[in-house]
Amino acid sequence: MTIQNLALFDLDNTLLAGDSDYNWSLFLIEEGLLDAKTHHDRNEQFYVDYKNGCLDIYAFLKFQLQPLSQHPKTFLDKLHLKYMEKVIRPMMTDKAQALVDAHKAKGDLCLVITATNSFVTKPIATAYGIEHLIGTDPEMVNGEYTGGVSGVPSFQAGKVTRLNQWLTERGKQLKDFPISYFYSDSHNDLPLMQLVTNPVAVDADPTLTEYANAHQWPHISLRD
């Protein structure tokens, strides 16, 4: 039986040289689909709260997912194609792709795990060649988005909950993997980073950098 290791990747400011959630809102404003005056300042404040570790995830999701409910999914899917080409692909780095490819070449089970909603992030994970994604799931009814959230948001300790659920569905536990990696830039991911065998800080924020240094975790950059 082949022994497989697990490679977990945060997305925003880790595999991406930027934040797909924050920039999605800016993109919708540029496309004339959100009012800049009412939306921009709140988007900025939520982003500051996230970086400071005090984000109210449910308030943020109510804000961030509501625009999905205003348009048919077919329209949103076409819009996302434009978002990928205009905004996301310039954030994808050769170093990030090389890291993913190296893990895949070793046969590791690769998974993107992100707090950003899965509508925004699934095509990005796919573009990196990663089949599996855990993101915060927008609620859908009859094939359309309601603006609500389904299940546990994959944020902070919620990433641990969602990963355990995902592994259980596959008859596995984290301890079944001899080596488990988690690459992240954010101190918000410490609950999961503390559980894997090989946590790696990536272009990390000051809080995570301090923690990583104190615990002798490696610190790398994926920026080109």
Residues belonging to the active site:
10, 12
Count the alpha carbons within 13 Å of 176 in the hemisphere toward its beta carbon: 12
Q: Are 136 and 155 in contact (CB under 8 A)?
A: yes
Please give the order of strands across the beta sheet that includes 180-184: 144-150, 132-141, 109-117, 6-9, 180-184, 198-202, 219-220
Give me 98's structure tokens: 């090389």
Give the strand pairing for 180-184 and 6-9. parallel
Bridge partners (DSSP) of residue 184 are 201
Which two three-digit tokens encode residue 57?
Answer: 């995830």
| Alpha-carbon span 210 to 36, nearest angstrom | 36
Dump strand ranges (E) for the chain: 6-9, 109-117, 132-141, 144-150, 180-184, 198-202, 219-220
The CA-CA-CA angle for residues 25, 83, 22, to 5°, reads 25
Q: Which helix (H) or strand (E) holds 27?
A: helix 20-30
